Chain A
Amino acid sequence: MSARKGQKRVLLQGNEAIVEGALAAGCRFFAGYPITPASEIAELLSMRLPLAGGTFIQMEDEIASIGAVIGASLAGVKSMTATSGPGFSLMQENLGFACMAEVPCVIVNVMRGGPSTGLPTNPSQGDVMQARWGTHGDHPVIVLSVSTVQDCFEITILAFNLSEKYRVPVIILSDAVVAHTREVFTFPHAREIQIVDRALPSMPPEWYIPYEDSPSGVPPMAPFGEGYRYHVTGLVHDVRGFPTQRPEEIKALINRLFRKITQGFHEIQKVQRFMLDDADVSVIAYGSVSRAARQAVKEARREGVRAGLLQLITLFPFPRSSVESVLKQCRGVVVPEMNVGQISREVKRVNRWECKVEKYNRVDGRLITPKQIRQLIFKLGT
Protein backbone atom coordinates (compact mmCIF):
# COMPACT_ATOMS: atom_id res chain seq x y z
CA MET A 1 0.00 0.00 0.00
CA SER A 2 1.24 3.38 -0.91
CA ALA A 3 0.33 5.24 2.24
CA ARG A 4 2.47 8.29 2.64
CA LYS A 5 3.34 9.99 5.86
CA GLY A 6 0.54 11.79 7.60
CA GLN A 7 -2.19 10.29 5.46
CA LYS A 8 -5.16 8.82 7.26
CA ARG A 9 -5.89 5.18 6.48
CA VAL A 10 -9.22 3.68 7.44
CA LEU A 11 -11.35 0.67 6.71
CA LEU A 12 -14.37 2.00 4.83
CA GLN A 13 -17.48 0.57 3.23
CA GLY A 14 -18.36 1.65 -0.31
CA ASN A 15 -21.28 3.68 0.99
CA GLU A 16 -19.01 5.43 3.49
CA ALA A 17 -16.47 6.22 0.77
CA ILE A 18 -19.24 7.83 -1.29
CA VAL A 19 -19.91 10.12 1.67
CA GLU A 20 -16.22 11.01 1.95
CA GLY A 21 -16.07 11.66 -1.79
CA ALA A 22 -19.17 13.85 -1.69
CA LEU A 23 -17.83 15.94 1.19
CA ALA A 24 -14.45 16.28 -0.51
CA ALA A 25 -16.21 17.40 -3.70
CA GLY A 26 -17.96 20.17 -1.78
CA CYS A 27 -21.40 18.61 -1.32
CA ARG A 28 -23.17 20.52 1.43
CA PHE A 29 -26.77 19.37 1.02
CA PHE A 30 -28.36 15.95 1.16
CA ALA A 31 -32.04 15.06 1.11
CA GLY A 32 -33.08 11.43 1.16
CA TYR A 33 -35.45 8.73 2.29
CA PRO A 34 -34.42 5.48 4.04
CA ILE A 35 -33.87 2.49 1.78
CA THR A 36 -31.69 -0.62 1.85
CA PRO A 37 -28.88 -0.90 0.73
CA ALA A 38 -28.26 2.85 0.50
CA SER A 39 -29.25 4.03 3.99
CA GLU A 40 -25.69 4.25 5.37
CA ILE A 41 -25.06 7.18 3.03
CA ALA A 42 -27.92 9.16 4.58
CA GLU A 43 -27.04 8.10 8.13
CA LEU A 44 -23.42 9.13 7.82
CA LEU A 45 -24.26 12.43 6.13
CA SER A 46 -26.79 13.26 8.84
CA MET A 47 -23.80 13.13 11.20
CA ARG A 48 -21.20 14.77 8.98
CA LEU A 49 -23.00 17.54 7.09
CA PRO A 50 -23.80 19.75 10.10
CA LEU A 51 -20.11 19.54 11.05
CA ALA A 52 -19.22 20.85 7.61
CA GLY A 53 -21.76 23.68 7.85
CA GLY A 54 -24.03 21.83 5.44
CA THR A 55 -27.57 20.52 5.71
CA PHE A 56 -29.10 17.05 5.88
CA ILE A 57 -32.82 16.47 5.68
CA GLN A 58 -34.88 13.31 5.65
CA MET A 59 -37.84 13.93 3.38
CA GLU A 60 -41.26 12.26 3.19
CA ASP A 61 -40.36 10.25 0.07
CA GLU A 62 -37.90 10.08 -2.79
CA ILE A 63 -39.92 12.46 -4.96
CA ALA A 64 -39.54 15.11 -2.29
CA SER A 65 -35.87 14.21 -1.76
CA ILE A 66 -34.79 15.01 -5.28
CA GLY A 67 -37.09 18.07 -5.31
CA ALA A 68 -35.25 19.46 -2.28
CA VAL A 69 -31.90 18.57 -3.85
CA ILE A 70 -32.75 20.55 -6.98
CA GLY A 71 -34.00 23.46 -4.86
CA ALA A 72 -30.78 23.57 -2.85
CA SER A 73 -28.71 23.41 -6.01
CA LEU A 74 -30.67 26.33 -7.49
CA ALA A 75 -29.71 28.28 -4.37
CA GLY A 76 -26.06 27.55 -5.22
CA VAL A 77 -25.21 24.57 -3.00
CA LYS A 78 -23.75 21.29 -4.31
CA SER A 79 -26.38 18.69 -3.55
CA MET A 80 -26.92 14.97 -3.59
CA THR A 81 -29.37 12.19 -2.80
CA ALA A 82 -28.95 8.42 -2.53
CA THR A 83 -31.44 5.63 -2.99
CA SER A 84 -32.07 2.15 -4.39
CA GLY A 85 -34.27 0.89 -7.24
CA PRO A 86 -37.74 1.58 -5.82
CA GLY A 87 -36.74 5.09 -4.77
CA PHE A 88 -34.91 5.67 -8.03
CA SER A 89 -38.17 4.93 -9.85
CA LEU A 90 -39.88 7.67 -7.84
CA MET A 91 -37.09 10.13 -8.62
CA GLN A 92 -37.47 9.85 -12.38
CA GLU A 93 -39.95 12.72 -12.60
CA ASN A 94 -37.70 15.34 -11.07
CA LEU A 95 -34.60 13.83 -12.61
CA GLY A 96 -36.13 14.98 -15.89
CA PHE A 97 -36.68 18.41 -14.37
CA ALA A 98 -32.99 18.63 -13.50
CA CYS A 99 -32.09 17.67 -17.09
CA MET A 100 -34.47 20.23 -18.56
CA ALA A 101 -33.69 23.11 -16.21
CA GLU A 102 -29.98 22.14 -16.20
CA VAL A 103 -29.61 21.93 -12.44
CA PRO A 104 -26.46 20.13 -11.25
CA CYS A 105 -27.06 17.29 -8.79
CA VAL A 106 -25.75 13.82 -8.01
CA ILE A 107 -28.00 10.80 -7.53
CA VAL A 108 -26.57 7.60 -6.10
CA ASN A 109 -28.51 4.43 -6.89
CA VAL A 110 -27.29 1.45 -4.91
CA MET A 111 -28.92 -1.16 -7.11
CA ARG A 112 -30.82 -4.11 -5.67
CA GLY A 113 -32.54 -6.96 -7.46
CA GLY A 114 -35.81 -5.99 -9.12
CA PRO A 115 -38.39 -5.40 -10.47
CA SER A 116 -40.52 -3.75 -7.79
CA THR A 117 -39.40 -4.19 -4.19
CA GLY A 118 -37.27 -7.06 -5.49
CA LEU A 119 -34.29 -8.20 -3.43
CA PRO A 120 -33.46 -5.47 -0.91
CA THR A 121 -30.19 -6.91 0.39
CA ASN A 122 -28.84 -8.55 -2.78
CA PRO A 123 -26.81 -7.00 -5.57
CA SER A 124 -28.01 -6.41 -9.10
CA GLN A 125 -27.20 -4.27 -12.12
CA GLY A 126 -30.80 -4.11 -13.29
CA ASP A 127 -31.12 -0.31 -13.36
CA VAL A 128 -28.60 0.48 -16.11
CA MET A 129 -31.16 1.29 -18.78
CA GLN A 130 -33.44 3.00 -16.27
CA ALA A 131 -30.58 5.30 -15.33
CA ARG A 132 -30.20 6.23 -18.99
CA TRP A 133 -33.82 6.33 -20.07
CA GLY A 134 -35.91 6.31 -16.89
CA THR A 135 -37.32 9.80 -17.13
CA HIS A 136 -39.55 10.59 -20.09
CA GLY A 137 -38.53 12.46 -23.18
CA ASP A 138 -35.23 12.78 -24.99
CA HIS A 139 -32.68 13.92 -22.48
CA PRO A 140 -28.96 13.70 -21.91
CA VAL A 141 -27.67 12.31 -18.65
CA ILE A 142 -24.38 11.00 -17.30
CA VAL A 143 -24.24 7.56 -15.65
CA LEU A 144 -21.11 6.38 -13.82
CA SER A 145 -20.43 3.04 -12.14
CA VAL A 146 -18.31 2.12 -9.12
CA SER A 147 -16.57 -1.16 -8.31
CA THR A 148 -14.28 -0.59 -5.32
CA VAL A 149 -14.12 1.54 -2.19
CA GLN A 150 -11.46 3.67 -3.87
CA ASP A 151 -13.81 4.15 -6.83
CA CYS A 152 -16.65 5.19 -4.57
CA PHE A 153 -14.53 8.09 -3.35
CA GLU A 154 -13.02 9.12 -6.67
CA ILE A 155 -16.07 8.58 -8.88
CA THR A 156 -18.27 10.55 -6.51
CA ILE A 157 -15.91 13.50 -6.87
CA LEU A 158 -15.93 13.00 -10.64
CA ALA A 159 -19.74 12.90 -10.57
CA PHE A 160 -19.93 16.28 -8.83
CA ASN A 161 -17.30 17.75 -11.13
CA LEU A 162 -19.10 16.64 -14.30
CA SER A 163 -22.47 17.66 -12.93
CA GLU A 164 -21.24 21.15 -12.10
CA LYS A 165 -19.32 21.60 -15.32
CA TYR A 166 -22.06 20.39 -17.66
CA ARG A 167 -25.10 21.39 -15.58
CA VAL A 168 -26.57 17.92 -15.85
CA PRO A 169 -27.67 15.36 -13.25
CA VAL A 170 -25.08 12.62 -12.77
CA ILE A 171 -26.17 9.18 -11.64
CA ILE A 172 -23.78 6.88 -9.78
CA LEU A 173 -24.72 3.23 -10.06
CA SER A 174 -23.46 1.14 -7.17
CA ASP A 175 -24.73 -2.20 -5.91
CA ALA A 176 -25.11 -4.02 -2.61
CA VAL A 177 -21.67 -5.66 -2.96
CA VAL A 178 -19.79 -2.41 -3.57
CA ALA A 179 -21.90 -0.59 -0.99
CA HIS A 180 -21.04 -2.95 1.83
CA THR A 181 -17.54 -4.12 0.95
CA ARG A 182 -14.97 -2.80 3.41
CA GLU A 183 -11.50 -2.03 2.13
CA VAL A 184 -8.59 0.04 3.34
CA PHE A 185 -8.91 3.57 2.08
CA THR A 186 -6.13 6.16 2.19
CA PHE A 187 -7.35 9.73 2.26
CA PRO A 188 -5.62 11.83 -0.38
CA HIS A 189 -4.31 15.25 0.57
CA ALA A 190 -6.78 18.00 -0.20
CA ARG A 191 -4.37 19.48 -2.74
CA GLU A 192 -4.46 16.22 -4.72
CA ILE A 193 -8.20 16.49 -5.27
CA GLN A 194 -9.39 18.42 -8.26
CA ILE A 195 -12.70 20.19 -7.69
CA VAL A 196 -14.85 21.79 -10.37
CA ASP A 197 -17.48 24.40 -9.51
CA ARG A 198 -20.27 25.57 -11.76
CA ALA A 199 -19.56 28.68 -13.83
CA LEU A 200 -21.20 31.77 -12.38
CA PRO A 201 -22.31 34.68 -14.55
CA SER A 202 -19.53 37.17 -15.16
CA MET A 203 -21.88 39.80 -16.56
CA PRO A 204 -24.18 42.16 -14.63
CA PRO A 205 -27.76 40.96 -14.04
CA GLU A 206 -29.27 43.12 -16.79
CA TRP A 207 -27.06 41.37 -19.36
CA TYR A 208 -27.63 37.87 -18.02
CA ILE A 209 -29.54 35.56 -20.36
CA PRO A 210 -29.90 32.40 -18.27
CA TYR A 211 -30.16 29.83 -21.06
CA GLU A 212 -28.16 31.52 -23.77
CA ASP A 213 -26.09 29.32 -26.08
CA SER A 214 -22.31 29.58 -26.20
CA PRO A 215 -19.50 27.52 -27.73
CA SER A 216 -19.57 25.13 -24.74
CA GLY A 217 -23.35 25.00 -24.75
CA VAL A 218 -23.32 25.32 -20.95
CA PRO A 219 -24.67 28.67 -19.76
CA PRO A 220 -23.34 30.16 -16.51
CA MET A 221 -25.70 29.52 -13.58
CA ALA A 222 -26.72 32.29 -11.19
CA PRO A 223 -27.79 31.13 -7.74
CA PHE A 224 -31.14 32.42 -6.50
CA GLY A 225 -30.93 35.53 -4.39
CA GLU A 226 -27.81 37.14 -5.88
CA GLY A 227 -29.46 39.78 -8.01
CA TYR A 228 -30.00 37.69 -11.12
CA ARG A 229 -33.76 37.28 -11.09
CA TYR A 230 -34.74 34.77 -13.72
CA HIS A 231 -37.24 32.02 -14.40
CA VAL A 232 -36.62 28.29 -14.08
CA THR A 233 -39.14 25.82 -15.47
CA GLY A 234 -39.56 22.21 -16.53
CA LEU A 235 -41.40 23.43 -19.60
CA VAL A 236 -39.53 23.84 -22.85
CA HIS A 237 -38.20 27.37 -22.59
CA ASP A 238 -36.54 30.11 -24.57
CA VAL A 239 -33.09 31.52 -23.78
CA ARG A 240 -34.59 33.69 -21.02
CA GLY A 241 -36.13 30.65 -19.35
CA PHE A 242 -39.74 31.47 -20.27
CA PRO A 243 -42.06 28.79 -21.66
CA THR A 244 -42.12 28.66 -25.44
CA GLN A 245 -43.89 26.74 -28.17
CA ARG A 246 -41.94 28.23 -31.06
CA PRO A 247 -40.44 25.38 -33.13
CA GLU A 248 -37.07 27.10 -33.64
CA GLU A 249 -36.72 27.74 -29.89
CA ILE A 250 -37.76 24.20 -28.96
CA LYS A 251 -35.26 22.71 -31.37
CA ALA A 252 -32.47 25.02 -30.25
CA LEU A 253 -32.94 24.02 -26.59
CA ILE A 254 -33.10 20.26 -27.11
CA ASN A 255 -30.15 20.32 -29.50
CA ARG A 256 -28.06 22.34 -27.07
CA LEU A 257 -28.86 19.98 -24.16
CA PHE A 258 -27.38 17.12 -26.20
CA ARG A 259 -24.57 19.10 -27.78
CA LYS A 260 -23.11 20.23 -24.46
CA ILE A 261 -22.63 16.57 -23.47
CA THR A 262 -21.44 15.39 -26.90
CA GLN A 263 -18.74 18.04 -26.87
CA GLY A 264 -17.49 16.73 -23.56
CA PHE A 265 -17.19 13.05 -24.56
CA HIS A 266 -13.40 13.20 -24.27
CA GLU A 267 -13.57 13.83 -20.53
CA ILE A 268 -16.93 12.28 -19.69
CA GLN A 269 -16.41 8.82 -21.15
CA LYS A 270 -14.12 7.06 -18.69
CA VAL A 271 -12.93 3.47 -19.05
CA GLN A 272 -10.11 1.41 -17.60
CA ARG A 273 -8.10 -0.78 -19.94
CA PHE A 274 -6.51 -3.85 -18.39
CA MET A 275 -4.19 -6.20 -20.33
CA LEU A 276 -5.86 -5.19 -23.57
CA ASP A 277 -2.87 -4.32 -25.75
CA ASP A 278 -2.41 -7.82 -27.19
CA ALA A 279 -5.76 -9.31 -26.16
CA ASP A 280 -7.74 -11.44 -28.57
CA VAL A 281 -10.51 -12.25 -26.12
CA SER A 282 -11.87 -9.54 -23.86
CA VAL A 283 -14.33 -8.94 -21.12
CA ILE A 284 -16.38 -5.75 -21.04
CA ALA A 285 -17.67 -5.26 -17.52
CA TYR A 286 -18.57 -2.59 -14.95
CA GLY A 287 -19.33 -2.27 -11.26
CA SER A 288 -18.65 -5.16 -8.89
CA VAL A 289 -18.67 -7.64 -11.80
CA SER A 290 -15.52 -6.00 -13.19
CA ARG A 291 -13.68 -7.22 -10.07
CA ALA A 292 -14.58 -10.80 -10.94
CA ALA A 293 -13.63 -10.10 -14.55
CA ARG A 294 -10.21 -8.75 -13.62
CA GLN A 295 -9.41 -11.88 -11.63
CA ALA A 296 -10.72 -14.08 -14.44
CA VAL A 297 -8.50 -12.28 -16.97
CA LYS A 298 -5.41 -12.78 -14.79
CA GLU A 299 -6.22 -16.45 -14.37
CA ALA A 300 -6.83 -16.91 -18.09
CA ARG A 301 -3.50 -15.22 -18.86
CA ARG A 302 -1.78 -17.72 -16.55
CA GLU A 303 -3.39 -20.47 -18.65
CA GLY A 304 -1.98 -18.92 -21.82
CA VAL A 305 -5.09 -17.16 -23.16
CA ARG A 306 -4.46 -13.58 -24.28
CA ALA A 307 -7.37 -12.09 -22.36
CA GLY A 308 -8.08 -8.47 -21.48
CA LEU A 309 -10.64 -6.34 -19.66
CA LEU A 310 -12.35 -3.12 -20.65
CA GLN A 311 -13.90 -1.78 -17.47
CA LEU A 312 -16.56 0.83 -18.13
CA ILE A 313 -16.60 3.63 -15.59
CA THR A 314 -18.95 5.79 -17.65
CA LEU A 315 -21.95 3.77 -18.82
CA PHE A 316 -23.70 6.73 -20.48
CA PRO A 317 -22.97 8.51 -22.70
CA PHE A 318 -21.95 5.03 -23.86
CA PRO A 319 -18.16 5.02 -24.40
CA ARG A 320 -18.54 3.85 -27.93
CA SER A 321 -15.05 4.53 -29.27
CA SER A 322 -13.34 2.59 -26.45
CA VAL A 323 -15.69 -0.34 -26.96
CA GLU A 324 -15.27 -0.22 -30.72
CA SER A 325 -11.49 -0.49 -30.49
CA VAL A 326 -11.88 -3.67 -28.41
CA LEU A 327 -14.47 -5.14 -30.79
CA LYS A 328 -12.24 -4.37 -33.74
CA GLN A 329 -9.24 -6.03 -32.14
CA CYS A 330 -10.74 -9.14 -30.52
CA ARG A 331 -12.34 -12.23 -31.96
CA GLY A 332 -14.54 -12.60 -28.93
CA VAL A 333 -15.95 -10.37 -26.19
CA VAL A 334 -17.79 -11.47 -23.04
CA VAL A 335 -20.21 -9.07 -21.38
CA PRO A 336 -21.05 -10.40 -17.91
CA GLU A 337 -23.80 -8.55 -16.03
CA MET A 338 -26.07 -9.04 -13.04
CA ASN A 339 -29.15 -8.47 -15.20
CA VAL A 340 -30.64 -10.17 -18.24
CA GLY A 341 -28.45 -8.14 -20.61
CA GLN A 342 -28.43 -4.35 -20.66
CA ILE A 343 -24.94 -3.11 -21.52
CA SER A 344 -24.53 -6.16 -23.77
CA ARG A 345 -27.23 -4.64 -25.99
CA GLU A 346 -25.15 -1.51 -26.34
CA VAL A 347 -22.03 -3.54 -27.11
CA LYS A 348 -23.90 -5.51 -29.75
CA ARG A 349 -25.37 -2.31 -31.15
CA VAL A 350 -21.96 -0.86 -31.91
CA ASN A 351 -20.37 -4.12 -33.10
CA ARG A 352 -19.67 -3.74 -36.81
CA TRP A 353 -16.86 -6.29 -36.95
CA GLU A 354 -16.41 -10.06 -36.93
CA CYS A 355 -16.15 -10.07 -33.15
CA LYS A 356 -18.38 -12.60 -31.38
CA VAL A 357 -20.18 -10.91 -28.48
CA GLU A 358 -21.35 -13.30 -25.76
CA LYS A 359 -23.45 -12.09 -22.88
CA TYR A 360 -23.35 -13.78 -19.52
CA ASN A 361 -26.09 -13.01 -17.07
CA ARG A 362 -26.82 -13.74 -13.48
CA VAL A 363 -30.09 -12.66 -11.86
CA ASP A 364 -30.10 -14.76 -8.70
CA GLY A 365 -28.92 -12.01 -6.37
CA ARG A 366 -25.35 -13.34 -6.33
CA LEU A 367 -22.20 -11.78 -7.71
CA ILE A 368 -20.79 -13.40 -10.86
CA THR A 369 -17.64 -15.37 -9.97
CA PRO A 370 -14.24 -15.27 -11.70
CA LYS A 371 -14.68 -18.96 -12.57
CA GLN A 372 -17.86 -18.29 -14.54
CA ILE A 373 -16.19 -15.55 -16.57
CA ARG A 374 -13.00 -17.60 -17.04
CA GLN A 375 -15.00 -20.42 -18.61
CA LEU A 376 -16.43 -18.03 -21.18
CA ILE A 377 -13.03 -16.58 -21.94
CA PHE A 378 -11.76 -20.12 -22.62
CA LYS A 379 -14.78 -20.87 -24.79
CA LEU A 380 -14.20 -17.79 -26.97
CA GLY A 381 -10.43 -18.16 -26.89
CA THR A 382 -10.30 -21.65 -28.39
Chain B
Amino acid sequence: MDKKGRRYEVVFSGSGGQGIILGAVVLAEACGIHDGKYVCQTQSYGPESRGGFSRADVVISDRPIDYPMATEPDLLLAMNQTSCDRYHPELKADGLLVVDASLVSQIPAGRTVAIPFTEIAREQFGTEMVANMVSLGAVVQLTRLVSPSKLRAALTARAPQHTADLNRAALNAGIRAAKKIDVACLENLGAPEEEDV
Protein backbone atom coordinates (compact mmCIF):
# COMPACT_ATOMS: atom_id res chain seq x y z
CA MET B 1 0.00 0.00 0.00
CA ASP B 2 1.17 3.52 -0.63
CA LYS B 3 1.60 6.11 2.09
CA LYS B 4 -2.10 6.81 2.39
CA GLY B 5 -2.97 3.12 2.26
CA ARG B 6 -5.30 3.78 -0.61
CA ARG B 7 -4.26 2.29 -3.87
CA TYR B 8 -1.63 -0.27 -4.86
CA GLU B 9 -1.22 -1.25 -8.49
CA VAL B 10 0.27 -4.53 -9.68
CA VAL B 11 0.85 -5.48 -13.31
CA PHE B 12 1.45 -9.11 -14.27
CA SER B 13 2.85 -9.49 -17.80
CA GLY B 14 4.20 -12.14 -20.11
CA SER B 15 3.01 -14.12 -23.08
CA GLY B 16 -0.28 -15.94 -23.65
CA GLY B 17 -0.23 -19.43 -22.12
CA GLN B 18 2.02 -18.50 -19.17
CA GLY B 19 -0.97 -18.24 -16.85
CA ILE B 20 -0.56 -14.51 -16.38
CA ILE B 21 -4.27 -13.85 -15.91
CA LEU B 22 -4.77 -16.73 -13.47
CA GLY B 23 -2.00 -15.32 -11.25
CA ALA B 24 -3.71 -11.94 -11.19
CA VAL B 25 -7.12 -13.46 -10.49
CA VAL B 26 -5.80 -15.46 -7.54
CA LEU B 27 -4.17 -12.34 -6.07
CA ALA B 28 -7.37 -10.35 -6.57
CA GLU B 29 -9.42 -13.08 -4.95
CA ALA B 30 -7.03 -13.36 -1.99
CA CYS B 31 -7.11 -9.60 -1.35
CA GLY B 32 -10.78 -9.05 -2.25
CA ILE B 33 -12.61 -12.10 -0.93
CA HIS B 34 -10.29 -13.35 1.81
CA ASP B 35 -8.86 -10.05 3.05
CA GLY B 36 -11.87 -7.76 2.56
CA LYS B 37 -10.08 -5.19 0.40
CA TYR B 38 -11.47 -3.46 -2.68
CA VAL B 39 -9.94 -4.94 -5.82
CA CYS B 40 -10.17 -4.44 -9.57
CA GLN B 41 -8.61 -6.99 -11.87
CA THR B 42 -8.41 -6.22 -15.58
CA GLN B 43 -6.53 -7.65 -18.50
CA SER B 44 -5.54 -7.06 -22.07
CA TYR B 45 -4.41 -9.64 -24.53
CA GLY B 46 -4.02 -10.36 -28.22
CA PRO B 47 -6.27 -12.64 -30.25
CA GLU B 48 -4.03 -15.67 -29.67
CA SER B 49 -4.77 -18.21 -26.92
CA ARG B 50 -1.08 -19.18 -26.88
CA GLY B 51 1.80 -16.81 -27.58
CA GLY B 52 1.22 -13.12 -28.15
CA PHE B 53 1.17 -10.67 -25.26
CA SER B 54 -0.74 -11.00 -22.04
CA ARG B 55 -1.13 -8.40 -19.31
CA ALA B 56 -3.25 -8.46 -16.19
CA ASP B 57 -3.63 -5.62 -13.71
CA VAL B 58 -4.67 -5.82 -10.08
CA VAL B 59 -5.58 -2.63 -8.24
CA ILE B 60 -5.95 -3.07 -4.47
CA SER B 61 -7.32 -0.44 -2.12
CA ASP B 62 -8.97 0.16 1.24
CA ARG B 63 -11.50 2.38 -0.50
CA PRO B 64 -13.78 1.91 -3.50
CA ILE B 65 -11.76 1.91 -6.71
CA ASP B 66 -12.70 4.33 -9.45
CA TYR B 67 -10.27 3.83 -12.31
CA PRO B 68 -9.99 0.05 -12.72
CA MET B 69 -6.58 -0.21 -14.39
CA ALA B 70 -3.04 0.43 -13.30
CA THR B 71 -1.76 3.80 -14.47
CA GLU B 72 1.52 3.93 -12.52
CA PRO B 73 2.18 0.41 -11.31
CA ASP B 74 3.75 -0.02 -7.89
CA LEU B 75 4.90 -3.44 -9.00
CA LEU B 76 5.56 -4.93 -12.41
CA LEU B 77 6.03 -8.65 -12.84
CA ALA B 78 7.64 -9.39 -16.20
CA MET B 79 7.70 -13.03 -17.21
CA ASN B 80 9.56 -12.44 -20.48
CA GLN B 81 11.84 -9.87 -22.10
CA THR B 82 9.20 -8.37 -24.40
CA SER B 83 6.81 -7.54 -21.60
CA CYS B 84 9.66 -6.18 -19.46
CA ASP B 85 10.67 -3.80 -22.24
CA ARG B 86 7.08 -2.92 -23.06
CA TYR B 87 5.74 -2.14 -19.60
CA HIS B 88 8.77 -1.05 -17.58
CA PRO B 89 8.46 2.61 -18.65
CA GLU B 90 5.03 2.73 -16.95
CA LEU B 91 6.43 1.64 -13.57
CA LYS B 92 6.24 4.21 -10.79
CA ALA B 93 9.62 5.92 -10.14
CA ASP B 94 10.14 3.97 -6.91
CA GLY B 95 8.18 0.96 -8.12
CA LEU B 96 9.42 -2.61 -7.84
CA LEU B 97 10.26 -4.65 -10.92
CA VAL B 98 10.16 -8.43 -10.54
CA VAL B 99 11.46 -10.44 -13.49
CA ASP B 100 11.73 -14.08 -14.38
CA ALA B 101 15.50 -14.39 -14.55
CA SER B 102 15.10 -17.50 -16.72
CA LEU B 103 13.62 -15.47 -19.57
CA VAL B 104 14.66 -11.85 -18.96
CA SER B 105 18.33 -11.11 -19.53
CA GLN B 106 18.30 -7.35 -20.15
CA ILE B 107 17.20 -6.02 -16.78
CA PRO B 108 16.54 -2.27 -16.46
CA ALA B 109 18.18 -0.31 -13.65
CA GLY B 110 16.18 0.50 -10.52
CA ARG B 111 14.57 -1.52 -7.77
CA THR B 112 14.65 -4.91 -9.38
CA VAL B 113 14.30 -8.46 -8.16
CA ALA B 114 15.30 -11.27 -10.52
CA ILE B 115 14.26 -14.83 -9.68
CA PRO B 116 14.33 -17.74 -12.17
CA PHE B 117 10.64 -18.67 -11.85
CA THR B 118 10.50 -20.85 -14.93
CA GLU B 119 13.67 -22.70 -13.95
CA ILE B 120 12.36 -23.30 -10.42
CA ALA B 121 9.11 -24.62 -11.86
CA ARG B 122 10.89 -26.92 -14.28
CA GLU B 123 13.47 -28.23 -11.83
CA GLN B 124 11.33 -28.63 -8.73
CA PHE B 125 8.03 -29.66 -10.32
CA GLY B 126 8.97 -30.92 -13.77
CA THR B 127 6.67 -28.44 -15.54
CA GLU B 128 6.98 -24.83 -16.59
CA MET B 129 3.20 -24.55 -16.30
CA VAL B 130 3.44 -23.54 -12.63
CA ALA B 131 5.96 -20.72 -13.11
CA ASN B 132 3.02 -18.32 -12.68
CA MET B 133 2.33 -19.68 -9.19
CA VAL B 134 6.02 -19.54 -8.24
CA SER B 135 6.07 -15.89 -9.30
CA LEU B 136 2.82 -15.12 -7.46
CA GLY B 137 4.27 -16.56 -4.26
CA ALA B 138 7.34 -14.38 -4.69
CA VAL B 139 5.32 -11.23 -5.42
CA VAL B 140 3.24 -11.68 -2.29
CA GLN B 141 6.29 -12.46 -0.15
CA LEU B 142 8.09 -9.34 -1.44
CA THR B 143 5.13 -6.97 -1.00
CA ARG B 144 3.16 -8.49 1.90
CA LEU B 145 0.00 -7.53 0.04
CA VAL B 146 -1.83 -10.43 1.67
CA SER B 147 -0.91 -13.26 4.01
CA PRO B 148 0.32 -16.53 2.48
CA SER B 149 -2.54 -18.42 4.12
CA LYS B 150 -5.16 -16.22 2.44
CA LEU B 151 -3.32 -16.55 -0.84
CA ARG B 152 -3.39 -20.34 -0.51
CA ALA B 153 -7.09 -20.26 0.29
CA ALA B 154 -7.78 -18.22 -2.85
CA LEU B 155 -5.68 -20.57 -4.95
CA THR B 156 -7.52 -23.64 -3.67
CA ALA B 157 -10.86 -22.08 -4.61
CA ARG B 158 -9.80 -21.00 -8.10
CA ALA B 159 -7.37 -23.62 -9.48
CA PRO B 160 -8.66 -26.95 -10.79
CA GLN B 161 -9.00 -29.61 -8.08
CA HIS B 162 -6.51 -32.10 -9.53
CA THR B 163 -3.73 -29.48 -9.68
CA ALA B 164 -4.32 -28.06 -6.20
CA ASP B 165 -1.35 -29.74 -4.52
CA LEU B 166 1.05 -28.91 -7.32
CA ASN B 167 -0.03 -25.27 -7.45
CA ARG B 168 0.23 -24.89 -3.69
CA ALA B 169 3.74 -26.35 -3.71
CA ALA B 170 4.74 -23.98 -6.50
CA LEU B 171 3.36 -21.03 -4.54
CA ASN B 172 5.43 -22.07 -1.52
CA ALA B 173 8.55 -22.43 -3.66
CA GLY B 174 8.07 -18.83 -4.81
CA ILE B 175 7.62 -17.63 -1.25
CA ARG B 176 10.82 -19.43 -0.20
CA ALA B 177 12.81 -18.02 -3.11
CA ALA B 178 11.69 -14.46 -2.30
CA LYS B 179 12.49 -14.82 1.39
CA LYS B 180 16.17 -14.75 0.45
CA ILE B 181 15.77 -11.22 -0.85
CA ASP B 182 15.74 -8.19 1.39
CA VAL B 183 13.51 -5.63 -0.31
CA ALA B 184 14.56 -2.97 2.19
CA CYS B 185 18.09 -3.13 0.77
CA LEU B 186 16.71 -2.37 -2.67
CA GLU B 187 15.28 0.90 -1.42
CA ASN B 188 18.79 2.31 -1.26
CA LEU B 189 19.46 1.64 -4.92
CA GLY B 190 16.44 3.63 -6.07
CA ALA B 191 16.14 5.14 -9.49
CA PRO B 192 18.93 7.51 -10.44
CA GLU B 193 18.16 11.13 -9.58
CA GLU B 194 18.20 13.60 -12.43
CA GLU B 195 21.35 15.30 -11.18
CA ASP B 196 23.16 11.96 -11.14
CA VAL B 197 22.82 11.56 -14.89
Contact = CB atoms under 8 A, between A and B. Distances in A.
A120 B42 CA distance: 16
Given A11-B29, A288-B68, A369-B67, A182 B44 contact: no
Interface in A117-141: 120-122
17 contacts: A11-B33, A11-B39, A120-B47, A121-B44, A121-B45, A121-B46, A121-B47, A180-B42, A181-B40, A182-B28, A182-B41, A182-B42, A183-B40, A298-B66, A367-B69, A369-B67, A370-B66
Interface string A346-382: 0000000000000000000001011100000000000
Q: Is the interface of A mostly helix, strand, loop or mixed?
A: mixed
A1 interface: yes
A9 interface: yes
A181 B68 contact: yes
Contact of B71 (A121, A122, A184, A370): A370
Interface residues of B, number: 22
Interface of A: 1, 9-11, 120-122, 177, 180-184, 288, 291-292, 294-295, 298, 367, 369-371
A370 B39 contact: no
A294 B68 CA distance: 11
B58 to A, nearest CB: 9
B36 interface: yes
Contact of A9 (B33, B67, B68): B33
B3 to A, nearest CB: 15
Contacts of A288: 68
Nearest to A178: B68
Interface of B: 25, 28-29, 32-33, 36, 38-47, 65-69, 71
Provide the main secondary structure of the chain B interface: mixed
Contacts of A367: 68-69
B46 to A, nearest CB: 7
A121 B49 CA distance: 12
The 3 closest A-B pairs by CB, nearest first: A295-B66, A182-B41, A184-B32
Contacts of B67: 291-292, 295, 369-370
A371 B71 CA distance: 9
A72 to B, nearest CB: 33
Contacts of B71: 369-371
A184 B39 contact: yes
A295 B6 CA distance: 13
B150 to A, nearest CB: 13
A10 B47 CA distance: 28
Contact of A182 (B25, B36, B47): B25
A295 B29 CA distance: 23
B39 A182 contact: yes
Contacts of B29: 11
Nearest to B72: A371
Nearest to A373: B67
B111 to A, nearest CB: 23
Given A184-B33, A370-B71, A292 B45 contact: no
B35 to A, nearest CB: 10
Given A288-B68, A295-B67, A183 B43 contact: no
Contact of B68 (A121, A184, A291): A291
A288 B68 CA distance: 9
B117 to A, nearest CB: 23
Contacts of A177: 42, 68-69
A153 to B, nearest CB: 16
Contacts of A295: 66-67
